[in-house]
Each structure stands twice: as structure tokens, then as C-alpha cells.
Copies of this chain bind each other. A is one copy, B any other.
Amino acid sequence: MNQLFFERQKKASMRLAEDGIFAAVIKDAEGSRNSSLRYLTGHPQDALLFIFADSDTILLPWDLNLANEKAGCSSIIPYTDYNRNYFQAAEAVLSKKITRNSRISRDSSGAAENDKLKIEVSASSSWLDVNTLRKKLPDMEIICRDNGIDAFLSSSRKIKDNSELQLYTKAAEITDNVINELEEYLQKNIFRDEKRVTEADIAMKIERLARDCNAEGTGFETIAASGGRSWAIHPWPAYSSSQVTGSGLTIIDFGIRYKGYTTDVTLTAAGKNLSDKQKEMIQLVQNAAELAEKELKPGISAGQPAQAVNIFFKSHGYAMPHSLGHGIGLDVHEAPLLKNDSENTAILEPGMVLAVEPGLYDPDAGGVRLENDFIITSSGCTRITSSRIIFPEY
């Protein structure tokens, strides 16, 4: 087994043992993704994972061949053995484990002889699933906690280890390649030759560049929003067949996914003949990006950089309608959230990888957003991507 996955699973098992929990069940399926599956085992998706307090782990994948190639865990059982039915699988796997090894298992989870064994399910589990499990497994205590195994995994995942930081170095390198190629493409086709280029052309270009650079693909649906609709934070659809012209403000927001880990960057293409307002917004967003970069360091509240940027924008009569940024990793939105909010108690720590995205939006002028990714270091931060505002060279 891959040592890395073994260590991650071991830590999760220890946490369960500390909490007196016999086993936790992690489920990843269409409509309810859970990237902790990949974090813990390397298996990318569509599986059940049982983690036991005694350090045993059992994976039930849809795709057995994929699991044999990718997954690290104590044992693998085809999910099809249980008709790919969550309840049937949970009942069978848990009962078998209890029967086989009840004495040791009970001891490892610290359960007294007459207590029901505690089984934890993901914090995102549905109401109906939890109730069904409770009915099917009346001899066990099914629990679902917002401060349980998922919170523990989220907390582990927010600090990237060396192997993850190495993957980010590579992901960022590919991202920068894509940014460079994209700039060349925009300069040539939009600003110089004034060809008919659509938002879809740009999105497809990024998708292709990603794969040409041996990335898994993009990390989320690329946003390409040209002049008429760049005022939206999350334009819908994310990209259309509208033409991107050499004037106005075009926002391009994408991520490159490398071995599971995604970057998240945004560049703004600033067209010709900008209005004073558009020029001011660009300048403010660039200044805000610099300001944020200076603020990022370990030990401070995750809300502090956001507060600094908000105050800066406010002093110029503007307001940013979204948070300053967020952690990135196997998910594009991970802890911590860079939001200036009294409920935000997160502290920046070395090893966090953050996307920082100051932006301003105006229904008439359009939108400007500049987003780059940073690693928090022991003394400050390292910017790992080079997104920028692209001005016409022609």
C-alpha cells in the first residue's frame, strides 16, 4: 500500500478510536461527491470506504479494475457484490467485521461490552440515508456529526503535506503554461487580427491546453464571460457562443487539475478604449491583489486579508460582492475561507494553499477579477501562479 494513504488512514482510524467510534463510512457517488475518498485511498471516485478504529480499511469500488490500479487500503471488495446498494453493503461489511473480530474491535473503539457500536457516516449524509441505516442496523448506533470525521478530514486536508505541495508545484507550472499560451492566443486573435473568437473557443482552448500538458483536465467548469456579461460573479452559462471582442472586460476563470489537485486562477482581458471607470476598477483590483499578497502569512485570521481588501475598496467607493478567496485542493473550494466574518475563526497556517481573487463588478462597466494561488509558508507566502490583467499589445 502507498505509504501516504496508509498514514492518512491511520490518522483517521486513530481519531475514530479516540472518539470511541467503531467505524466510519465515506461514500462518494454521483450527486454526492466526497473527495476525502481520493485523499484517503487514491481511488478517484464512486466507492464506499469503511475506516475502522482498529486501522483496518475496506474499499467497495464500482470499478474494481480502477481500484486495483489506484487504491491503497487494507482490502477491496467489489461494490457489485452488494448490488451497488449502500445499505446492503454497510450491513454486510459491518456485520462481518464485528463477527470476525468483535473482541479486538470493541476494545480498539473503547466500547463497553453492552454498548452499541458507534458507526459514523459523513456529515453530508442525507436525512433519509441515516434513517434507513438506523432501521437496517438496529444493533449499531449510527451517528452523523458536523464536528466528526469529515471535520477532521477537512482539517487535515487544509494543510498540504510535502507530496501535495509537490503536486501543486507541477499544477501551477501547467497553469502558468496555459496562461501564457492563452495570452498569446488572445493577443493574436482578438487584439491583433480581430478574428471571431467566442467564449466557447476560449474555454475549449484551455481544456485542450490542460490535456496537452498532461493535466487530468480542468478543475471545474471554466468561466469565460465577455464584455456584456462579465459583471456576473458566476455567469450562467459559464461560457457561451458569444463573441469576445477586443473591447470591454472579459473574465476568464479556470483551474488545472493535476493528479487530483486543482489550481484556481482568473485573468481579465482588458480591451481597447476602456472608460475611466473600467481603468479605475482594473487599477484597484491590481492594487488589492498586491495588498492581499502582502497580508498573507501564518498566524493571522483568515478574515484579515479580506478585511484589508474590503477597507481598501471601500476607501475608493467600491465593494467586493464575494469573499477574498478560499483553500484549494482536491476540491476547488476547501477550508479555509478568506472571508471577513465574525463567525470565521480560521487561522492561516503553513502548508495551506489558497486562491485569492479580488474582483469588482459593475452592471455597465463589466467585471474585473484577478486570481492567483498561494502557499502559506513559515514566514509569509509564495505565489505559485502568474495570472494577470491582459492588455492589448496591438
> Interface on A for B, CB 8 Å cutoff?
30-33, 44-46, 62-63, 65-66, 80, 121, 123-130, 144, 146, 198, 200, 204, 207-208, 211-212, 214, 216-217, 231-234, 236-237, 240-241, 321, 333, 363
Contacts of A232 in B (CB 8 A): 63, 65-66
Min Cβ gap A206→B in Å is: 11
Min Cβ gap A358→B in Å is: 19
Min Cβ gap A153→B in Å is: 15
Assuming the A-B contacts A45-B236, A232-B65, A236-B45, are A241 and B211 also in contact, with contact meaning beta carbons closer than 8 angstroms in the complex? Answer: yes
Q: How many protomers of this protein does the assembly include?
A: 2
Assuming the A-B contacts A200-B211, A211-B241, A236-B66, are A31 and B30 also in contact, with contact meaning beta carbons closer than 8 angstroms in the complex? Answer: no
Identify which of B146, B236, B363 contacts A44 (C-beta below 8 A).
B236
How far apart sit A36 and B236, CA to CA, in the bound complex (Å)? 17
How far apart sit A30 and B233, CA to CA, in the bound complex (Å)? 14
Q: Is the interface of A mostly helix, strand, loop or mixed?
A: loop
Q: Nearest chain-B residue to A124 (Cβ)?
A: B126
Contacts of A65 in B (CB 8 A): 231-232, 363
Q: Nearest chain-B residue to A341 (Cβ)?
A: B83
How far apart sit A217 and B44, CA to CA, in the bound complex (Å)? 25
Most chain B CB within a 10 A radius of its CB, from A128, A130, A204, A333:
A128
Assuming the A-B contacts A200-B208, A217-B237, A241-B212, are A144 and B128 also in contact, with contact meaning beta carbons closer than 8 angstroms in the complex? Answer: yes
Q: Is the CB of A208 within 8 A of B217?
A: no
Q: Could you show 16 A-B contacts with beta carbons less than 8 Å apart?
A: A31-B33, A44-B236, A45-B236, A63-B233, A65-B232, A123-B126, A123-B128, A126-B126, A127-B127, A127-B130, A128-B144, A200-B207, A200-B211, A204-B204, A204-B208, A211-B240
